[in-house]
Amino acid sequence: MPASCPVADGCVLSVHALPAALPAHAPLTYPRWRHWLDDPQGAGPEAPEQPEQQPEQPEQATLRAVCATGPGGDAAGLALLHLPPGLPGRLLSVMVAPAWRRRGIGSALLAAATRQAAAQGCPALTAQHSTAAAGIGAYDAFMEANGWPQAALMQVRGYGRAGWARTAGQTFARHRAALGRRGYALTPWPELTAADLAGIRALVASGAVPDGYDPMLQHDRDAPDLSAVLRRHGAVVGWAKAHWQDAAQTQAFYHSGWVLPDVARQGWLAVAMIDLSARQADLYGDDSLTGFSTDAANLPMQAILFNRFGALAERIDRLMRRTLPLPAAGTEPPPGLTAAGGNPPPCHSPG
């Protein structure tokens, strides 16, 4: 049995390693995470409601659920955590059932989540949200009232139907022709040669490629027919990768787009995204979904997203992230809940 402690009105908190059979609590998180609570084996595909960039699937041994349960066994609240030992953890979601709100349960879930992260040796706990999410004002106020810092911009993201590229291709036709005269070409990943792959490895080894933009990092889950390298007069100068977000292959997300700095300012990646989205439309239909993003520091690409692609996209939003620093492991034993088999000290609701 997992350790538990009272919170309010007979409600208790408990911590569970995932996957686990917690079907009553599964509706209190996003659909893409529910298989960890519905199926004790953790089986089942992700099923996001809309295209968005998915984090890499966490190792199951590092997943935790903090559950709030009412006296009748009803699910009162849930916090889901990914806690890689010694690395920053992530609060994947936190939700309180409507009938249990305004009793301090949400604050208790956040406090217990923080203690779990500290116990795992995580130096910080992060939480991400989209500016397009419903009720974001109330969420911001809740997090800040519980001691979390203000959110900072992490990414700007755009979403639409792949058919947008047909209109964009006409809009950018002159620009694409100008890049063609400078040597621009796109080669789908399945057509790469051993020499091309060696060129990619050489670029990564040179130190020119920022952390996280190595195209081989997520290669096993990428969609080769929607991934490509960019060439200048035949030489590899960059790439863009994509992976499917659903088993039915209707939602593609483009990531890890990078080109050499001397061509980045000429709009090579923007034209590559149009070309790849057009390829997706040809292969999977105009109504298949596309998503792509740029990081907070890439102001030129943000300007392209808002000013040039914005009229063609169905949605453009901002991905925000909060980072809560945690005490170093061993400096202060975290109070509160422990996982199954532990001996938790008294647990109190923070409000």
Contact 119, 338 (CB under 8 A): yes
Low-confidence ranges of the chain (pLDDT < 70): 1-5, 39-61, 301, 307-311, 329-351
Burial 280-311 (b: 16+ CB within 10 A, else e): bbeebeeebbbbbbbeeebeebbebbeeebee
Closest of 282, 223, 229, 216 to residue 251, by C-alpha? 223
Report the pLDDT value the prediction gives residue 351, as an integer from 0 to 100.
Answer: 27
What stretch(es) of the chain map to CATH 3.40.630.30?
Answer: 157-322
Cα dihedral 135→139→140→145 (10° resolution): 140
Q: Please report which helix (H) or strand (E) contains residue 333, including its range.
A: none
- pLDDT score recorded for residue 204: 93
Tell me what pLDDT residue 42 has: 44
Give the per-residue pLDDT at 331: 56
Residue 233 has φ and ψ, to the nearest 5°, of 50, 40
pLDDT in tens, 175-197: 999 999 999 999 999 999 999 99
* Residue-wise pLDDT tens digits, 224-243: 999 999 999 999 999 999 99
3-state helix, strand, coil in the chain (%, to 5): 30, 25, 40
Residues 204, 239 contacting (CB under 8 angstroms): no
**pLDDT at site 209:** 92
Peptide bond into 149 cis (omega under 30): no
The CATH number, out of the four listed (3.90.550.10, 3.40.630.30, 3.40.50.300, 3.40.710.10), of the domain defined by the range 157-322: 3.40.630.30
Question: For 1-123+327-351, which CATH class?
Answer: alpha beta
